Amino acid sequence: MDVLGMVDKTFAGIKKLREISQKLHDAELQNTIADLLVDVADLKVAVANQREDNAQLRTDLEKLRNQDDLRKKVKYENGMYSLTQPVPGLSMGPFCPRCWEDRGKLMTLQRYCCYVCEASYGPDTGPFQTETL
Ligand SMILES: [Zn+2]
């Protein structure tokens, strides 16, 4: 049973306790149980929010691990980046240095031009020179 299930089970137990307490006609006991029900309801919301935060953190961690894994497969050579081994969904390069270094994106160069940031690379322009297309 996960944490949310345990909270639900606790909530159900307190509701049953409230039913029993109503037979005793003890106002203080009933108020205490009502307060407990509110506290457990708040706890359930907090657990649900924590669960969402954890899911987001897991997603962020996976992205960082993938990015780190990708960084290990990228090499810098002759002013451009390329892959040292195949990565599904990517060419082997060359990739735009500006896009990789500034945004962590591997953008394949077409005739030594990046069509995302419009930088061009080559013997005449060198790295990080932007030309108007
Ligand atoms: Zn670029």
The pLDDT averaged over each successive group of 10 residues in the chain (133 residues) is 91 94 92 95 95 97 93 92 94 94 94 92 58 45
At 122 the pLDDT is 74
At 41 the pLDDT is 94
**Calpha distance 19→30 (Å, rounded):** 9
Find the 39 Cα to ligand 1 centroid distance in Å.
53
Find the 105 Cα to ligand 1 centroid distance in Å.
8
Find the 100 Cα to ligand 1 centroid distance in Å.
7
Find the 93 Cα to ligand 1 centroid distance in Å.
12
At 131 the pLDDT is 47
Instruction: Using a cut of 0.85, tell me whether the model's pTM lies above it.
Output: no
Find the 109 Cα to ligand 1 centroid distance in Å.
8
Contacts of 94 (CB under 8 A, 6+ apart): 80, 81, 82, 108, 109, 112, 121
